[in-house]
Amino acid sequence: MDDALLLPVRSQWPNKEPVGYDGVQEMQVSFLVKPTNPGDVSSLNGAFSNAWENKMEVPRYSGGSKTKHKQRTPDVTVDTVTLRIGRDGRPMVLIGTFDKQHVQPGGQKVQCKGLVFPGGGHYERIGGRSPASQYEAPHGSSIQAADEETLEEIGVTKKGALLRDCIAVMDVPEYEMRKHCLRIIYGMLVNPEDVPETSDEIKELFWIPLDDLQAIAEGEVMFTLHADTDREEELHFTLKHDKMFLALQKCAQFKRFVKQAKLVAEQYWDTDGGGSKERVPCVGRQ
């Protein structure tokens, strides 16, 4: 590991360097992959292949309707792990409660409720989208998709980050319940004084110590929502975000990101945040 990359920096993307051609940027990532057992391939193929269709939009003037085509996989998704580090230097991870219907193979609608890492999803494709489309506008590259998803789900803009990095690309088919996806996973250290907001998809937000999150993801410690009230409810991670995190937190790039985030946060409190009292975002329980 290059210790020079761990020095406090002012750039949001300290590990992104131009390759010298056409504005292309290079970032080091961990490629996380797991061979799929032959028996699992068969079952996953049956589960994933018959539900997902790509609806190609036909121009209104043609008088046609949408034509359905089977969507080939893998699809590409983005995920963001958001950190906040206070004066004590303890990394806190942002998680949110998710409660939404998903269409499963065969057209069955299933309610998915649980904990997720906000700021991720299937980003909008380029092509086949008319200006009057009912769908979102195309995002562009995965960096732009991560920006948009983070803004939509927790109201944090890309300018509010102290540190950003691409951590990993993950290809483990069984870690996604809806279809075979390649996950591009980003890390973001937010300004400690910024307050993430809830949205239509993310109902509540909580800062959880990084050291405690592994036990929650492994199911050893229950996450209790609305404790000590008549609305008390125990939640697990959904959408396989627990498996994603448990694999991610073991990889070299995630460890580097956390180490670098601590140094950048320390620099923040020694300069920008040093002259004022810390204002801790009151987003759920800590």
Query: Burial code of 116-143, b = ≥16 C-beta within 10 A, e = fewer?
Result: bbbbbbebbeeeeeeeeeeeeeebeebb
pLDDT the model gives residue 278: 39
pLDDT band at 58 (very low <50, low <70, confident <90, very high): very low
Q: What's the CA gap between 185 and 84, in Å, rounded?
A: 17
CATH of region 3-58+66-270, choose from 2.60.120.330, 3.90.79.10, 3.30.410.40, 3.90.470.10: 3.90.79.10
Q: Is the pLDDT of residue 281 over 50?
A: no
Within 13 Å of residue 18, how many CA atoms lie on the same side as its CB?
4
* % of residues, the chain, pLDDT over 70: 71
Q: What's the CA gap between 82 and 192, in Å, rounded?
A: 11
pLDDT the model gives residue 22: 95
pLDDT the model gives residue 76: 85
- pTM (predicted TM-score): 0.81
pLDDT 10s digits, 231-257: 788 888 887 899 999 999 999 999 999
Query: Which range has the worst mean pLDDT, 74-78, 131-135, 138-142?
Result: 131-135
pLDDT band at 84 (very low <50, low <70, confident <90, very high): very high
Q: Is the pLDDT of residue 280 over 50?
A: no
pLDDT 10s digits, 160-218: 799 999 999 999 988 876 678 899 999 999 998 888 888 888 888 999 999 999 999 99
Q: Is the pLDDT of residue 9 over 80?
A: no
Q: Is the pLDDT of residue 19 over 60?
A: yes
pLDDT the model gives residue 230: 73
Q: Is the pLDDT of residue 272 over 70?
A: no
pLDDT the model gives residue 90: 95
pLDDT the model gives residue 193: 82
Q: What angle do CA 216, 250, 184 make, to 5 degrees?
A: 90
Which residues make Cβ contacts (< 8 Å) with residue 247, sequence separation at least 6? Answer: 32, 170, 172, 175
Q: What is the mean pLDDT of residues 266-277?
A: 70
Break the chain into its structural domains and give their ranges.
Answer: 3-58+66-270
Q: Is the pLDDT of residue 117 over 50?
A: yes
Which residues make Cβ contacts (< 8 Å) with residue 250, sequence separation at least 6? Answer: none
